[in-house]
Chains A and B, each alone.
Chain A
Amino acid sequence: MSHPSPASPLAAPTPPAPAGSLKPPRSSSSTRGILIKIALLSIIDAIAVFGLFMLFLQESWIPFAIVLAVTVLVNWIYLTPGWLPAKYLTPGLLFLAVFQIFVVVYSGYIAFTNYGDGRNGTKDDAISTILLTAQERVPDSPTYRVTVLEQFGEYFFLVTDPEGEVSLGSADSPLERITDFGTDSTGRADSVPGFTTLGFADLLGNQRAITDLAVQVSDDPNDGALRTPDGSNAYLYLSSLSYDAATDTFVDRQGAVYRDGGDGAFVNDSGRELIPGWTITVGFDNFIKAFTTENIRGPLISVTIWTFAFAILSVATTFALGLFLAIVFNKPNMRGKKAYRLIMILPYAFPGFLSGLVWLGLFNEDFGYINQVLFGGAAIPWLNDPWLAKFSVLLVNLWLGFPYMFLICTGALQSIPEELTEAATVDGAQPWAVFRLIKFPLLLVSVAPLLISSFAFNFNNFNIIYMLTGGGPRDVSAGVDAGATDILITLVYKVAFGEGTGRDYGLASAFAILIFFIVATVSIISFRQTKALEELN
């Protein structure tokens, strides 16, 4: 050990510490390990207990049961000896279960509901929201003096009614008489122990939240609610609609009756819906809608075709250019090869989300560099003509993707043994034949899996499309916000979160499920094919 041996650099990666020196600290370190384990477990348990408590208060029993079961399981795994693989797999699997598997299942569930704008709650929520939003101020309502209080981020009204009685309530809990409060010089109640009284500045800062706040006078929503326009005086508001729980109907002042129409909203005889509705399960309606509604089916089909075209052409163009360059620069001792290589991989290193935006500027129809400088002021609608926009997207994706293919092909070419070329040349083969019959098939075997994953990536290549064209130019006749360059994933995003046409989570999730089946099918088939390719060689 004391004399330096020439072999020591080779031994460097293996742990240098001899076994003997490990032994003394081991016992202390294993107690330390146990302490760390206990500390981590108690943090997790503390969080879990807090969550269980909150879920208990909200009476969400199914999540409560799940959290309880998982907590017990985690403790059991780490506190009992054995089950070693589980100790290593549990952390990752927990995240996978919640944010991948559950998300897949939940997407599937949403695809079978009418979840979306104006349909995102339970029926009870919808009823009370309808009553609240239809409220109008009672013309001769008495003035209630009010102080706005806050506790845990929730606002409360502390109300002194005209008779001098004091009560407290919030959006979730109707007014209730209280006795423990402080008053100001005018006799208005202005504080309650445990609550923060909002000052003038706070009132101004949270104006919207406070003017929107409606506190029910009693448990029955038909009795009306108090609202304050200024934070100091409140008035009684009554709904212009009244709800009858026995018949499950709304009646408005003109006597029109709104019934549960069966698709998650109250409708009257003339078809007018009350907003909001609520979420119901609609079975295959979203899928049926996607395939049968004329102005959704049309765009959906053309978007699907373009998605395939985009993914295939992206892989084909980048691979062709990358391979070509790899061959061109695969010449030993060519000067400046390193410099070429370095600059050519810059687009790949440039953050992907920025590329689309940069090219957006270059392609700008009126002011962009390409039109202004390269084409001398021509107004070529690069991004506003359906076909040119498709071309532009492919061009930008070529710019982004060819360096990756170049690097991979260079690596693959260099790993093909030179003897094969030699043997073929000796046998009299022309260079092109050597390439086509020997090198290319060998290259394909090693590159094929990467081409498939590149296809799968481009199939859902959201950033480039969304940043460059936003899916546009838009097809105005479509029933969904779809454009000429939209691929399926951008369509999902726009249907779910777009500004143009309201949010329809149900339909978007139905699209997502369709994409999943397409990608899974394509990948499984193509992986089988490459396996066959590998066995061939």
Chain B
Amino acid sequence: MVAGATTTPGERPARVIPKRRRRGPWFWFRDTGWRHLIGLVMLVFAAFPLLYVLSASLNPTGTLVGSNTLFRTIDFGNYIELFQLPQQPYAAWFINTMVIGLVAAAGTVFLGALAAYAFSRMRFRGRRVGLLTLLLVQMFPQILGVVAIFLLLSGIGEVFPQIGIGTQAGLILVYLGGALGVNTYLMYGFFNTVPVSIDEAAKIDGASHARIFFTIILRLVAPILAVVGLLSFIGTTSEFVIASIVLTDPQTQTLAVGLYQFVSQETSSNWTLFSAGAVLAAIPVMALFLYLQKYIIGGLTAGSVK
């Protein structure tokens, strides 16, 4: 269908006139209109659940049943109440999520960039094996080792209570365990596109390797750093399994863990409050995502399409 829709430049002069003559509503529908029809169906499918949450969050009744009439009333009470629940410290969850997400993302970018630089610019024994090992280790996602992580953190907590079970620092360290791997691959590919002659020129000028890395290379690969950072931020902020095991105290929990408990206990009565929480939680991530989507898609496909 696509092939038929696009006319080739060579044929154009011959076809322009007959086309004009046939153009009526039916032609328009066959050519473009049905696409809009499908588009409209997809718009409803894609956007409806989101509109529904938004509507529920503005609904003062609180229940699931009351949320079934969309945008009947608009009331910001839920958003205010959300911050006044003693047992569900939403503000704390929000801050925790941002802090954990940002620190883990920054750490991931830094560790990943160091490794990618070594793999891209240096030749050493075990380099190929190292790259392959990274790929292999990633096949065992951290979430599979959740029991071992729990027991490991319990053990560490006996020596360093600051990073044991129940601490956010411990959780961040666990997330950093996954810093190498897919991220290093993404960055490694991008590092390779930066000409080595830049490094060599700087080296001849007497710059140390650390100086080249921090002041030259990191700046040149900034786009991929942003992509990896954002992907890792989104990944850690929605991570549920490990966070639910490690963070035991409501004050230290993240949005994923906290909001889950919100709904899992009594679905219908907390519903509009949950919706308000969900809207607030989603807005920053979605805004960031939409703003940077071009780069994300580029980053995701770069490795495979190449």
Contact = CB atoms under 8 A, between A and B. Distances in A.
Partners in one complex: yes
Contacts of A403: 46
B301 A26 contact: no
B176 interface: yes
Contacts of A92: 111-112, 114-115, 179-180, 184
Contacts of B2: 327, 330-331, 413, 421, 431, 435, 439
B173 A95 contact: yes
Interface in A10-53: 13-15, 19, 22-23, 26, 29-30, 33, 47, 50-51
A325 B2 CA distance: 12
Interface string A392-422: 0000000100010001100111010010011
A101 B137 contact: yes
Contacts of B139: 456, 516, 519-520, 523
B238 A325 contact: no
B114 A91 contact: yes
Main secondary structure of the interface of A (DSSP, over half): helix
Interface stretch (A156-164, A258-266, A288-296, A461-469): A461-469
Contacts of B130: 89
A106 interface: yes
Contact of A512 (B117, B147, B219, B264): B147
A349 B53 contact: no
Contacts of B238: 351-354, 463
B65 A22 contact: no
Contacts of B36: 336
A350 B205 contact: no
B152 A357 contact: no
B49 A95 contact: no
A327 B143 contact: no
Contact of B140 (A29, A115, A362, A516): A516
A492 B6 contact: no
Main secondary structure of the interface of B (DSSP, over half): helix
Interface stretch (B14-22, B71-79, B83-91, B277-285): B277-285
Interface in B17-61: 32, 35-36, 38-39, 42-43, 45-47, 49-50, 52-53, 56
Given A92-B179, A336-B36, A354-B259, A460 B3 contact: no
A413 B1 CA distance: 13
Interface residues of A, number: 121
Interface string B209-241: 111010110011000000000000010011011
A136 to B, nearest CB: 31
Contact of B151 (A23, A95, A106): A106
A3 to B, nearest CB: 24
For this complex, into which size category does the number of interface residues on chain B fall? 35 or more
Interface string B281-302: 1100110011001000100110
Interface stretch (A143-151, A174-182, A368-376): A368-376
A343 B46 contact: yes
A347 B46 contact: yes
Interface in B158-202: 158-160, 173-174, 176-181, 184, 198, 201-202
A399 B144 contact: no
B4 interface: yes
B278 A354 contact: yes
A358 B142 contact: no
B45 to A, nearest CB: 7
Contacts of A68: none
A450 interface: yes
A353 B239 CA distance: 8
Interface of A: 13-15, 19, 22-23, 26, 29-30, 33, 47, 50-51, 54-55, 58, 60, 63, 84-85, 88-89, 91-93, 95-96, 98-104, 106-107, 110, 115, 325, 327-332, 334-336, 340, 342-355, 357-362, 364, 366-369, 372-373, 399, 403, 407-408, 411-413, 415, 418, 421-422, 424-425, 429, 431-432, 434-435, 439, 446-450, 456, 460, 462-463, 466-467, 470, 489, 492-493, 496-497, 505, 508-509, 512, 515-516, 519-520, 523
17 contacts: A22-B206, A23-B206, A30-B211, A63-B159, A92-B114, A103-B142, A106-B148, A349-B289, A350-B282, A353-B240, A435-B1, A446-B304, A460-B144, A467-B240, A492-B147, A509-B147, A512-B147
